[in-house]
Amino acid sequence: MSLEKKIQELGLELPPPAAPVGSYLSAVRTGNLIYTSGQIPVKDGKPMFTGKVPSQVTLEQAQSAARQCVLNALATIKSMVGLESIARVVRINVFVNSAVGFTDQAKVANGASDLLVAIFGDAGKHTRCAIGAAELPLNVPVEVDLIVEVKQ
């Protein structure tokens, strides 16, 4: 089964890839690795949620936002090489717009990690960092970047 069909089976869809809004690239390929820029949870042209976790955005909403970040990153990779070129997910970094005292960044990151495993199986298992941030662009609750290995 293709990865796009797997995504559809999960009830999800890839959006069009987002264009950079500054002096950077959406993703860079070096050798057989692709590094995406940080992706925020934009859906249909606007942030899904805004605010700090958990005071303004619930843990469940933040996990959903992390999943959308992954879909946005995969859309960028698809535009570069196609999803079927992905050999494995190597690493993700998850930044959480955290309220003072919030220490469950890893639970937010699970939203992204679990989706990658659901899509890619064992090839979706990866290393990661889950980091609390004081602020994120557009006051979104989460930002995610991916590093993937592509087939040569």
Q: What pLDDT does residue 1 have?
A: 83
- Residues 64-99 pLDDT 10s: 999 999 999 999 999 999 999 999 999 999 999 999
Domain ranges of the chain: 3-13+28-150
Secondary structure (DSSP) of 63-107: HHHHHHHHHHHHHHHHHHH-GGGEEEEEEEEEEEEBPTT---HHH
- Residues 100-114 pLDDT 10s: 999 999 999 999 999
Residue 152 pLDDT greater than 90, yes or no: no
Q: What pTM was estimated for this model as a whole?
A: 0.97
Looking at 3.10.580.10, 3.30.1330.40, 3.40.190.290, 3.40.1360.10, the CATH number of the domain 3-13+28-150 comes to 3.30.1330.40
Of the candidates 29, 140, 12, 142, the one whose C-alpha atom is nearest the C-alpha of residue 76 is: 29
Binning pLDDT at 50, 70 and 90, where does residue 136 land?
A: very high
Judge whether 132 and 102 are in contact, CB under 8 Å.
yes
Q: What pLDDT does residue 132 have?
A: 98
- Residues pairing with 97 in the sheet: 133
Judge whether 147 and 91 are in contact, CB under 8 Å.
yes
- Residues pairing with 83 in the sheet: none
Burial class (CB in 10 A: 0-12, 13-18, 19+), 19: exposed
